[in-house]
Structures are given as C-alpha cells and as structure tokens.
Structure 1
C-alpha cells in the first residue's frame, strides 16, 4: 500500500470535479462513524458539511485525508475557536475498518496535531465514542475526573487515545428518546408543568421559533450561547470561551439552513424581556433523527424548573412540526446531574458514551 496523506481541498460547489476528494472524505467519515454506532445517523453529509468549511468567521476547520490510490481510507479533522485568547483545537480521527492497525490513524493524528500547533493551539482535545454494547468489555476501566461512569480501557478509541498521550478528561452520556406516538403525552406533561409552576416561575413566558430567532431576542440570546462555553460542566477539559454577539447567532442560523437543517428553539423569557434560558432541536434533512443541541438556564434564573419547561415546549413543537421523526439524541456531561435527571424523566435512555481526551 502506498499511503498519501494530504489536506482536503474545499470546493465551492458539490458535484464538480473539484469536489470529488471532499465528497470522498465525507463518505470516509460516515463509514468510520457507522463502524462504531452501526448506523450513519450521527454523520453529516456533504451538503450539510460544506457550508461549515466555507464560512470560517467564528470556527476554523481543516481536514486531512489518507489515500491508497484513489480510495480514501481515513481522515482527520481539526476545528478551533477563533475568539481572542483561544488555546485549544479539537481533533477527530477515523480509519476504514479493513485498514486499521497499519499506522494510518497515527499518521493522520500527527498531521492534525502539527496543523493545530502551527496555528498556535497548545491544548489538543480529542473525542472517541463507545456504543452501549461496548461498555462492558472486560478488563481495566477508565474514569474521568468527575461523574460516575467509566469506559473500558480496551475500547479501540480509548486505546488509541491513551497510546498517543491523551488523558481522559470527561465522559458524556449519549442518550436517545423515542418520540413516536408520544405527542399527546408531551402536551399533557407540558400542561401539568405549567399548572404546577411556582409564583416566580409563572413570571417567565415561553417563546418558540423555527430557524430564526426574533430580532428583539438576539442580544440576550447571544449571552446565553456564550454561557454554554463557560457555565456547563467541563470536567478536566480546557474548553475555550466562545465570543457571541447577534451577528454570530444569525451566522449559525444561516449555516444550519444552508446545510438543510431545520432548527426548533424555545426560550424562557424573564420579566425584563431577556432570555433566561433556551434549548434547540436540530432536524437534518432526509432523516428520522433529531438532535438535542444546546440547553441552558442562566445562573440567576435557575431553581424554577425552566429546563424541563424548555424541553417539553420543544418536544411539543417537534410533534407539531415533524411528527414523522422517531428519535431524539443528546449528549450530556456525566457529572451534569440536573440535566440528566430531566432527560431521564422525559424517557431518555443510555445509548453509549462519548469520551473527551486532552493532550497538553
């Protein structure tokens, strides 16, 4: 085998000769994900991913691909926050199943790390996934600094990370909720929740939208987005603080639409008119899956069960907007007891674990 590892050229448009290698890289990413999860629900397709590469105002991206002749046999991705003072880069690596244990992953990782350091990133963060069926592998276990769960040291992703000097900094529970046939139940739960609210909670109103937030909420919504990088549990991972303003909120909305994704959002509005918390569901095109993205209630507004209110409101909107969708997936830090309790009360069940790794 003659291996060639090089950066992936980003085309202006798909379906052109210039897009062939990018499209092959996207397919290799999906194949690697499928080898872990047994499906491609968690993979972005080329129309979803291309806008993310073309618009680098807030997040930088570089991809590398390993080629054996005309076949893409592996890939590595580097992403980084462009905010002032950012120090970290996130790296993911995937190799075709029949090409593993040949050093391809190590070479891809080396290229990704070299690029990260060339742009001044001194903290390297990686990610690996363990499906629920792989959590009970025999042998030694690895535990994160916080939380109660562990993963087997023999898991291929964990073994790769530790072999290359990465330490386990955080575990996230990947949970799924089957929503088929539950629309009426969610409406009833929301009605009961609203009835049972205390006097303070009753002063908050619920505002929902699809794809684009109301103009008057942009500034306070940006504050809530920024808080996702500072107020949520980070375990032993050095996540960068993200800078958000109204323009970045609009930019993210535009990117989602350009990638064919519909976004359902709910916000709890405080008596002063500011966003006290929000939640988002992302609906990729041509899929039965839904992804629970950011959910946060800002510190001064906690203690009034607004998190449950937000999620119920969005599940009701999901049933009204896309009743054909079958499952919602979400990732939460293993130490985030409050959010996990909300998910469990809604019926989410464990589907696997995602490990966050750090190399300083």
Structure 2
C-alpha cells in the first residue's frame, strides 16, 4: 500500500474545495471511532473540529495518511500555547483495513516532529477499550492508581507499548440513561436544594453571567491541576474571563449547546461548576468538567450541581437519551456520585505518555499481570 503523509490544510469555512481534505480527515476519525465503539457518537464532526483549529489558546495541527485519494488515517496534535507548557497531545487513528503496514508509525513520526519543533519533551495520547473487549485473554496492564486494567493485547495498547509509551492513567467511560426522567430529576434537585443551608446554584445555557466570569476562570484553571492525574503530566492552563468567553463561542461555532450549573458562595465566589456539552443532531449529552474547588469541598456540592444540571438538560433538551462521562479510575469521590446517579461502565480509556528521553521498548508500561 503506497501511503502519503501530508499536513491537513485548515480552511476558513467548510463546504468548498479547500475544505475537502479537512472534511475527509474528520470523516476518517469518525470511522475509526466507529470501529472501536460500534458507533460514532464520540467523534467530532468537521463543524465541531474547525473552530478548535482557530483557537487562540491551544495550537493544533493535523496530518492525514492518503492511499490515492482516500484518507486512511490521521493524527491531530494539540498543545497549550503558553510558553511554560511541556506537552503535546496526540489523537491518532488508522482505518482497520490500513493497519499493520506502517501507517500509524508514519503518522506518529509526524506528531513527534511537531513536538520536537515546539521544544516539547512529553507526548500524551489516548486509546479506548469498550466493555465487551475488556476481557480479552492474556497479560493485562494496570495503572498505578485505581482498580481497572486493560488487556495488553488490545490494538491501541499494543501500538502504544511498541512505540515506547507507558500507561499513565485509566479513565472509566460511563453512561446514564436520561430519557423521560424530567420529573425525577426535578424532584431530586428540589430535595437537594431544600436541604441545603449554604451556597446557591446558578444555571445557564451557552453563556455565563458577566458577574461570574472572573471566578469561572479560576475554576477552569483548577481543572488542569486538581483532578487526579495518575502518573500523567498535565500542563497548567492559564484562564481569564476572555478565555471563558472564547471557549463558549468555540462551542457555539461548532454547533454545540452547553449547559452549566455553578455553586456560588455567599461571598460571590464560584465554589464549583459542572458542564454538559450537547452536539448538534446527537441523542447523547457529554458530561465535561465537574469540579469543586478544594476550599469548598465537604458540602455535597458535586451531587447538587450534577442533579440540577440533569434537570436543566431534561427541560432544555428532552430529546437526549443518555449522558456519557469520563472519570479517572482513581477518582473515588466523583465515581461514587456517578454510581449513585445510575451511571454504568461502557469501557475504559487509557492515557499514554512518552518522554523524549525514553527509548522505545524500555519505557515503564505500568503493572502487568497474567489472566
């Protein structure tokens, strides 16, 4: 198979000849997701992706693998633009029929070249294992923290290990059915609010109130440092009110609706927030950030905010049938909230990390056990 790897041009708008390669890349990424999960609900379409490539806070570059005029794989490189940042995150996927002939290796080389050009020493990447594939026989990989494990023979895991990545963290992928539960969520939220003696909840769709922007920026920055990270390296994200507004606009430009509920102290400080992202034309909603800042924990704010936001979802988008979320396998508190709400496991996502001074085949891979 003759393969050409080349950068993907980023168009200004979609639908024209100059957007064809970008649109093909997005479609290939969706097909890869479908090959793993059996559906493409977790994939971003071209309309969602394009605003991300015009982001002023995160840099992005993509390369596609072409067999003739067909896109058979892609790698997307993302990094914080802040000068203190050290990492580049890669999203790599190859169509099943084009695997095991060097396409993934060639794409990874292009991603590593981006990291080298930026002077970044650490590369991260994800791979997914759906629930039905978790019991594959053979050796298993366990992250240092948490209780989950994945089969070392999984396609994504085997590729990562072969190229010197180590397993840094596992995340549970869980889902909650929400169809026809508006009354249930509204009643549960009312009970929580009746029992609350401090902090008030404020909810909104798409755009935060002006008076909360600075406080929300503090909470967004904490999302890059506070959640459990296993042995992974995460860059500190620098947030201000302008970045909050830019992120909101990016979601709108990508045809996503965002539902947010925040807990606010008597002094007007944002103690935490939770966020649901609703792609256009999907039956799913995605639980993005949920955080309670350290100095405000111990008041059951996580449960209050999540239930209130589920009630908002039922009112604003009753056509959504499920909420999907990702949580670090060692994040016992948040997992307990999700289990209490009725989330069930759909699979695991593995976070992989590679340092520039780690030789392929010698990097620590995480604990391995037999089965």
User: TM-score, normalising length from structure 1?
Assistant: 0.98
Give the whole-Å Cα distance in 2 for the aligned partners of 1:73 and 1:181. Answer: 40
Give the whole-Å Cα distance in 2 for the aligned partners of 1:24 and 1:215. Answer: 39
Q: Secondary structure at the match of 2:160?
A: helix
- Report whether the alignment pairs 1:212 with 2:220: no
1:257 aligned partner: 252
Q: Deviations over 1:13-44 (max 9, x none)?
A: 11111111111011010011100000010011
Q: Using the TM superposition, give the Cα deviation of residue 227 of structure 1 relative to its aligned residue in structure 2, in angstroms.
A: 0.2
2:192 aligned partner: 193
2:226 aligned partner: 231
What are the within-5 Å matches in structure 2 for residues 74-223 of structure 1?
74-197=73-196, 202-223=197-218
Give the whole-Å Cα distance in 2 for the aligned partners of 1:345 and 1:84. Answer: 41
Structure 1 ranges of 4+ moved more than 3 A: none
1:28 aligned partner: 28
1:298 aligned partner: 293
Q: Using the TM superposition, give the Cα deviation of residue 192 of structure 1 relative to its aligned residue in structure 2, in angstroms.
A: 2.1
2:14 aligned partner: 14
- Report whether the alignment pairs 1:51 with 2:51: yes
Q: Secondary structure at the match of 2:289?
A: strand
1:280 pairs, out of 275, 281, 290, with 275
Q: Using the TM superposition, give the Cα deviation of residue 196 of structure 1 relative to its aligned residue in structure 2, in angstroms.
A: 3.2
Superposition RMSD in Å:
0.7
Q: Secondary structure at the match of 1:54?
A: coil
1:307 aligned partner: 302
Q: Using the TM superposition, give the Cα deviation of residue 83 of structure 1 relative to its aligned residue in structure 2, in angstroms.
A: 2.0
User: TM-score, normalising length from structure 2?
Assistant: 0.95
Give the whole-Å Cα distance in 1 for the aligned partners of 2:179 and 2:144. Answer: 37
Q: Deviations over 1:141-195 (max 9, x none)?
A: 1011110100000110000000000000000000000101221111121122223
Q: Using the TM superposition, give the Cα deviation of residue 233 of structure 1 relative to its aligned residue in structure 2, in angstroms.
A: 0.4
Q: How many residues align?
A: 355
2:61 aligned partner: 62
Q: Using the TM superposition, give the Cα deviation of residue 84 of structure 1 relative to its aligned residue in structure 2, in angstroms.
A: 3.1
Give the whole-Å Cα distance in 1 for the aligned partners of 2:349 and 2:63. Answer: 22
Please list every run of 5 or more consecutive structure 2 residues that lacks an aligned counterpart in the other structure. 356-371
